[in-house]
Amino acid sequence: MKKWTITGVDVLTPETHQKKRHVDIQDDRIKSVGKGDGTAQILLNIEDGILAPGLVNSHDHLLGNYYPKVGNGPYENWLPWDNDLKSAPVYQERQQIENRDLYLLGAYRNLVSGVTTVSDHMPHFVAEPFYDILPVKAIREYALVHSVASFALAWGEGISAEYAKAKEQGIPFVTHCSEGFDAETKRDIVTLDRQGGLGDHSVLVHGLAFSESDIDLIKERGASVVWCGDSNYFMYSKTTNVKYLRKKGVNLCIGTDSPMSGGLNILHEMKFDKALYKKLFGEELPDDEIVRMVTANPAKAFWMKNHGQVKEGFHADLTVFRNKGGSAASSVVSAGLKDVMLVVIDGLPVYGEAEFAPVFAALGVKYQQVVLDGAQKIIIGDLVGLLKRISRAVGFKKKFPFLPVEFEV
């Protein structure tokens, strides 16, 4: 039995902000949240920390994580972008790297930005060989199709069959939807509904062409939507109608997409989406709402029971951010890589400040020391070895702005 306590932190549940609390962790669960120092013998005191639920990246393609971005938009839909990607020199460079290492690269990109769980939109036969080796959690139980239109990639067994599977098993059904402006893609919601794929298990990614009547139907059916603002604007110079989605009370989540089209990481994405909302609608998107879009909302969308909140009995997937003053939510939304102080997954620390090493050791967690963005950190696995392998594979020292780690080839 593993039992330890994080003390001194402000807790963002995310519905409430509780000052100077302790969080007792036993095995993979939160045992208690309260005042005082807690009950465990192993204590980690973080006086300047904001403890929040572990962040969820609601849309990524871990196999496609690489850099830089590729594209010459705006595009009509995803297909011409994909053609440009496949013909780009950087794609050929990426092809020199083993799939295992691309999956690890994508996972570490998420981990150092405070993400504990990723929705990796890939077919099961591609993804499952790698999920057990990742330093973050990937959502393993899901139904999917690539997208709704007739030119979709052949993922899954079709909309009707995949949604029926999701409903029977109590898992999400994930698809790109309305990602473009051709006549067929604009009808995605109607097509999806007619084929029995629109309901409370549906997770709809992008939604560029959503009309207000589409959104009304999405709300009526109880589906969730994933907003990838950076990727949308890079590829299409447009994004989904976030204001109307909020007005109708649709369950809205945030995803990064791959960094070959989207944001560097979830921290970048939160700030980008906040600024984009202000630009498009002339008003602020509240920080506490953004935090829910990367915690409680995806827990609902992906049917992740007992996730997305800091609450007794919930999974101990937690991220501690540096307290910058102001509201607790603003410290999360404004955070940079240096401000991610600690990440806990399934009740054990997996990444954090170098000064926390004694707690990692006391809990039996093996770690590697790294310098990331100029800060001393410790992390599970062999991140430096991964970056060295990638550099050897491509023939030069490959640097990633989403993993600014010092290493020698």
Residue 173 and residue 214 in one domain = yes
Domain boundary among 301, 326, 344: 301
Beta-bridge partners for 372: 375, 405
Residue 162 and residue 20 in one domain = no
Return the pLDDT at 282. Answer: 98
The domain that holds 128 is classified in CATH as 3.20.20.140
Residue 292 and residue 358 in one domain = no
* 10 domain-assigned: yes
User: What's the number of domains the chain is made of?
Assistant: 2
Residue 265 and residue 329 in one domain = no
Residue 129 and residue 19 in one domain = no
Name residues whose C-beta falls within 8 Å of residue 172's C-beta, 6 or more positions apart in sequence: 119, 139, 142, 143, 166, 201, 202, 203, 301, 302, 303
Domain boundary among 250, 283, 301: 301
Residue 159 and residue 197 in one domain = yes
Peptide linkage before 123 cis (omega within 30 of 0): no
* 265 domain-assigned: yes
* 9 domain-assigned: yes
Residue 209 and residue 279 in one domain = yes
Instruction: For residue 363, give both structure tokens.
Output: 């809990």
* 368 domain-assigned: no
* 222 domain-assigned: yes
**Domain of residue 203, residue span:** 56-301
- pTM, entire model: 0.98
* 405 domain-assigned: no
Residue 10 and residue 101 in one domain = no
Residue 203 and residue 100 in one domain = yes
* 157 domain-assigned: yes
The domain that holds 342 is classified in CATH as 2.30.40.10
* 1 domain-assigned: yes
Return the pLDDT at 38. Answer: 75
Nearest C-alpha neighbor of 323 from the set 347, 308, 311, 340: 340
Task: Quick: pLDDT tens for 111-150.
Answer: 999 999 999 999 999 999 999 999 999 999 999 999 999 9
CA–CA separation, 39 vs 43, rounded Å? 9
Q: One digit per residue, pLDDT tens: the chain, 409 residues?
A: 789 999 999 999 999 999 999 999 999 999 999 997 777 889 999 999 999 999 999 999 999 999 999 999 999 999 999 999 999 999 999 999 999 999 999 999 999 999 999 999 999 999 999 999 999 999 999 999 999 999 999 999 999 999 999 999 999 999 999 999 999 999 999 999 999 999 999 999 999 999 999 999 999 999 999 999 999 999 999 999 999 999 999 999 999 999 999 999 999 999 999 999 999 999 999 999 999 999 999 999 999 999 999 999 999 999 999 999 999 999 999 999 999 999 999 999 999 999 999 999 999 999 999 999 999 999 999 999 999 999 999 999 999 999 999 999 9
Strand pairing class (43-45; 49-53): unpaired
Residue 216 and residue 281 in one domain = yes
Return the pLDDT at 40. Answer: 80
